[in-house]
Structure 1
Amino acid sequence: MSQEPLVSIGFVAKRTGNAVSLIRYYANQQLIPFIRTQGGSRVFPRSVIRRVSFILIAQNMGYSLDEIRQLLHTLPDKRTPTKSDWAKLSRVFNQRIEQRIAQLNELKSSLAGCIGCGCLSLDKCRLYNKEDKIAVKGPGARYLLGDTPILHK
Structure 2
Amino acid sequence: MPHSIQPVYFENAVGRITEHATGYALVRYHAAKREPAELRALLTHLGNLLLRRNWQCILADMRTMEPLSTPEKILLMEEWYGGHIPRPERLCTAYVLADNALTRLAIYELQQEARKHHRSDAFTSLEEAHAYLLTCTQP
Rg larger in 1 or in 2? 1
Structure with a larger share of its residues in strand? 2
TM-score higher than 0.5: no
TM-score (norm 2): 0.27
Q: Which has the higher contact order (CA 8 A, sep 6+)?
A: 2
Structure with a larger share of its residues in helix? 1
